[in-house]
Structure 1
Amino acid sequence: MDSFDAMKKVVFKATPEGVLVDNQTPYYMNYIGLLHQNKPAKNVKMVAPFSQAVFEAKGVRSGDKLKWVLVNDYGADQEGEAIAQ
């Protein structure tokens, strides 16, 4: 698995606080943005390999679409989408 494949393996889970980002890959995921219903989440940060972080966002439910942006290994912004579990 390379870092581009790893981006697709990160799981986003709805929690009362917002979104739990579960990175069970061997790569750092340097998130710089997360949108839920076009509203930015707070406390967006890097998620270390095999760890979790909570990004603060109100009203996230399982099945909601999320848009994320991270800085990839080449220093470029990489955008993607995920469905909250």
Structure 2
Amino acid sequence: MKLAPILDPNARKPGPKPAQVDLHKVFFIGTSLWLLLGIVCLVLVITGHHLVNALVICICGMIIGILLLIWEHFNRWNYRRLANQRQ
């Protein structure tokens, strides 16, 4: 193990360039999966299974996903600008 990068920051290799990502797709797919699982849990709860906790978790996942989509909408320019600066 080399200690030079730990002791001397100038001896470190440069970090990798940030990847350009589309968070809208990621958040939308995740929220869609929570919605699908929520529908499945709702059907199971209606048919008499005791999955109320799972249904609440799915609803929380959908709420968080919607909030992340809103955040992404307002901050898209910022995170894309930061990724383009380092390339």
Where is the strand percentage greater, Structure 1 or Structure 2?
1
Where is the helix percentage greater, Structure 1 or Structure 2?
2
Q: TM-score range by the shorter chain?
A: under 0.3
User: What TM-score do the two structures reach when normalised by structure 2?
Assistant: 0.21
Structure with higher RCO (Cα < 8 A, 6+ apart): 2
* Larger gyration radius, structure 1 or structure 2: 2
User: What TM-score do the two structures reach when normalised by structure 1?
Assistant: 0.21
